[in-house]
Amino acid sequence: MKTEISIEGLRKRVSASQRDFVIAQNDQVTIPKPWKSLAAVAIGLLLSVPGLAQTQYRFSTIDVTIDEHHATATEPNGNSTLEIAGMFNFEDEMQHGFVLNKGVFTQIDAPGGVNGTSINGINAAGQLAGTYLDDRLVFHAFFEDKGIFTTLDPTNSIRTSGGFINAQGQVVGFYRVALQPQRRLGFIWSKGTFTTFSEPFDGPAFGTRAFGINDIGEVVGDYSDDPDHAHGYLRSSKGDFTPLNVPDAGSTTAQGINNAGTIVGYYNILKLNDPNPHGFVFNHGVFMTVDVPDKDGKAQLTQIFSINAKGEIVGSYFDSEGVQHGFLGVPAR
């Protein structure tokens, strides 16, 4: 099903005191914990797992403020070289999409998204992809271009989530099918046509999710063979799959990929009794852990959702007080 709706008047431009953006790319509405503003930080990465390489970024905290109102949560989830996009919510716990450009952020609420909107991807042309929740509490993926929203629901889908978008306007995501309500299938949408797929070793009850795509058509995501373990994957433009598993990780989720083939995401290490996610950057066959430190040099949770052509990463982290923040990481080198 494809629905096109004009969004004239739905965008609200406001100045932002800091750079912000992100979004949880799943098919459930998640209301993050309240958090408070922190100053930008520039600090080296904390190495969480022995044996994994260490890298360095300059971090800036992302906390959304609109008309002197502070959002209770911000999740940057997609970035081009020009803009960052994601989700935020206020005290009413309503999720709203946003785009940040040169210190000005634009609030975006999809038509039909009366129960929430999230932006999960943005390209250099400013086209958007994401997910909205309708009045029946059903999730729908969408593509937005020049003020027109197009709903992306593959045949036989009962709920759909949209992920990243590349320069060609191709959108990736995943959906649940009507005959197998728990099974997820990945998809690539390109100019009105869906290509659906599943990782060959995924479990029939849980399936495959797609989160990121680059201009070459390479896709990253995860698949599950049981409810407690996810495995990352890279799907080539020809449809071949390569597994991506951080060493010793209980679960690995690949979220983003740029044209250089650098992949980002998050993982956890169950055997070390450490259920909290850690971010990772995978480049030239090496996994590098990314744990964003707070003002005290500690972090409880880090997730990376996107990487652009400059190698800049965006995601979210919880500080030592359990407060969630978005972040932008710029390579130190």
**Domain map (residue ranges) of the chain:** 4-331
Q: What tokens appear for 180 in the block?
A: 């197998």
pLDDT in tens, 156-167: 999 999 999 999
Q: What tokens appear for 141 in the block?
A: 């993926």
Strands 274-283, 263-269: pairing kind? antiparallel
Residue labelled with tokens 């996009």: 85
DSSP code of residue 271:
G
Integer Cα distance of 210 and 254 in angstroms: 9
Return the pLDDT at 49.
38
β-partners of residue 106 are: 13, 99
Q: What DSSP string describes 274-298? A: EEEEEEEEEETTEEEEE----TTS-
Q: HSE on the CB side for 280, CA within 13 Å?
A: 28
Integer Cα distance of 125 and 166 in angstroms: 10
- How far is Cα of residue 327 from the mean position of the Cα atoms in its chain? 12
| List of residues 6+ apart from 125 with CB closer than 8 A | 167, 169
Lowest-pLDDT range of 31-40, 223-232, 241-250: 31-40
Q: What tokens appear for 96 in the block?
A: 């709203």
The answer to whether residues 138 and 27 touch, using CB atoms and an 8 Å cutoff, is no
- How far is Cα of residue 202 from the mean position of the Cα atoms in its chain? 21
Whether residue 285 has pLDDT greater than 90? yes
Q: What percent of the chain has pLDDT over 70?
A: 81
Burial of 224 (0-12, 13-18, 19+ CB in 10 A): buried
Residue labelled with tokens 């929430």: 116
Q: CB 101: neighbour CB atoms within 10 A? A: 17
Cα-only R_g, the chain? 18
Identify the band that residue 179 occupies on the pLDDT scale cut at 50, 70 and 90.
confident
| List of residues 6+ apart from 284 with CB closer than 8 A | none
pLDDT in tens, 102-129: 888 888 999 999 999 999 999 999 999 9
Return the pLDDT at 283.
94
Task: Supply the CATH classification number for the domain 4-331.
Answer: 2.120.10.30
Among candidate residues 330, 306, 326, the one with its CA nearest the CA of residue 172: 306
Backbone dihedral angles phi then psi of residue 249, each to the nearest 5 degrees: -80, 145
Mean pLDDT of 251-270: 94
